[in-house]
Chains A and B, each alone.
Chain A
């Protein structure tokens, strides 16, 4: 875990610095589809984080585990990934609004 934990030591502060970069939403983005996003999180994020979000190769995505990060920090991680770990950046596949929506429901623990 040495490689990972060193990243996790500096990564949240990097997000603090850059986190605001995800804040403005582009006007042209397509409307959110909560059903599609829920399916994506359960099935495709679930490959590493578990269908029940309790973790696997990736960390748990439970509200309790995510408490330490803000919504925008989590959206930043979703969009950009975590260097040195298998967490990829999803920027090519989703909008910033969608990443924020996912971060929000994970933090609230309200994903269906």
Chain B
């Protein structure tokens, strides 16, 4: 009996160690969009290596990614309306639907149950069950003239809610899924011309939408009832003629550091620093070109900025204490995106026309590694699963 039992123990130990070798977490995994080939690269941010590729995801020319709360699944939103669910552990596509004709991005609810997608065609927002990708709600975005509007700047808000802006109609809407049945939709009309993107601060309190059709930014304080859209930075261009905008800025990742936020000025080579209490301008920071992304290093010490075509070979790093550019360098042709590791020790930079992702030490700015990727654009690490508005 004793002999039989110890044999069993050995067997159990063998099975346990075999499966231990296969068990892994996903906290160090990331997804890199390969925009031209309709694929994504899975990467290990600790090993600084690619660990797989998932293909046949459609047109990824403007793609973004959100993660399930357990960080096992990535949801990829493609330009062609595709919504793809990827298992990061298996390195494989689980399910893919084409939910619209032309999409711009998406968000996942705070409980991880709902995936919302923002559409250019047919416009509006569609919401899906994160488990099955079956449709839960379809919210057409009809403006006052009854026409369908493209939607932009879709983010999750605490409490199973989403917020987005109507590009054509000039409105901001909130869709509240906290109750039973159909969502409650709250509309803020007449916010200004052509909102091009929007985002929420990391605390989930302030929604900001940038306007393309006029000089200004729209602010909604989500802690105040009823919701009210207020104009900030009115006439920031001071009536001066804009430079041509060869690429729209993105408000994703807009630097919220200490007491200030750094926002893009459309058609200008500068960032505007805004006080986070009263939303007044406190400084302007001249930059190398027109900013596209301004990504704050976790902790808030620096903000890294890339630029619109044709100045997109350069990155500026701003010191948030002095509000000055402290480092300017050229990673290579067509820098499209930057993503920090969860606690900000390294930053990954996609250099599209070099077919590379380059990895830098965030403190010394030294290049530490590079990874081959096919025309890489967006980079998304699983730590985003823990953040509001990502």
Measuring CB to CB, which residues of chain A are less than 8 angstroms from any residue of chain B? 1-4, 39, 42-44, 46-48, 50-52, 54-57, 81, 84, 86, 88-90, 92-93
Contacts and interface: CB of A to CB of B under 8 A. Distances in A.
A20 to B, nearest CB: 23
A2 B104 CA distance: 21
20 contacts: A1-B143, A1-B168, A2-B168, A43-B36, A43-B334, A43-B352, A43-B353, A44-B309, A47-B61, A47-B248, A50-B102, A51-B36, A51-B61, A52-B79, A52-B80, A55-B102, A56-B102, A86-B248, A92-B244, A93-B310
B194 A3 contact: yes
Interface of B is mostly: loop
B197 to A, nearest CB: 10
Given A43-B36, A81-B244, 15 more contacts: A2-B147, A2-B168, A3-B213, A46-B61, A47-B248, A50-B79, A52-B80, A54-B59, A54-B102, A56-B120, A57-B248, A86-B212, A86-B248, A92-B244, A93-B310
B149 interface: yes
Contact of B61 (A1, A52, A84): A52
A3 B245 contact: no
Contact of B247 (A4, A47, A81): A47
Nearest to B120: A56
Interface string B29-44: 0000001100000000
Nearest to B103: A56
B196 interface: yes
Interface of B: 35-36, 59-62, 79-80, 102, 104, 120-121, 143, 145, 147, 149-150, 167-168, 193-194, 196, 212-213, 244-248, 309-310, 334, 352-353, 375
Nearest to A1: B168
Contacts of A84: 213
A56 B61 contact: yes
A2 B145 contact: yes
A42 B61 CA distance: 9
Given A56-B61, A86-B248, A1 B147 contact: yes
B79 A44 contact: no
A57 B247 contact: no
A47 B336 CA distance: 11
Contacts, number: 79
B311 to A, nearest CB: 11
B104 to A, nearest CB: 7
A57 B375 CA distance: 21
A54 B58 CA distance: 13
Contact of A90 (B149, B244, B352): B244
A89 B243 CA distance: 10
Contacts of B150: 57
A86 B62 CA distance: 16
A9 B246 CA distance: 24
Contacts of A86: 194, 196, 212, 245, 248
B167 to A, nearest CB: 7
Contacts of A92: 244
A57 B244 CA distance: 16
B35 to A, nearest CB: 7
A78 B344 CA distance: 41
Nearest to A93: B310
A4 B147 CA distance: 12
Nearest to B38: A51
A51 B167 CA distance: 21
Contacts of B245: 86, 88
Contact of B120 (A43, A55, A88, A89): A55
A55 to B, nearest CB: 6
Contacts of B149: 1
Given A3-B194, A3-B213, A86-B196, A44 B120 contact: no
B167 A57 contact: yes
Contacts of A55: 102, 120-121
A44 B36 CA distance: 12
B342 to A, nearest CB: 28
B120 A51 contact: no
A50 B168 CA distance: 19
A42 B377 CA distance: 14
Contacts of A56: 61-62, 79, 102, 104, 120
3 shortest A-B CB distances, which residue pairs? A88-B244, A51-B61, A1-B168
Interface centre among A3, A50, A57, A90 (most CB of B within 10 A): A57
Nearest to A49: B61
Contacts of B145: 1-2
Contacts of A50: 59, 61-62, 79, 102
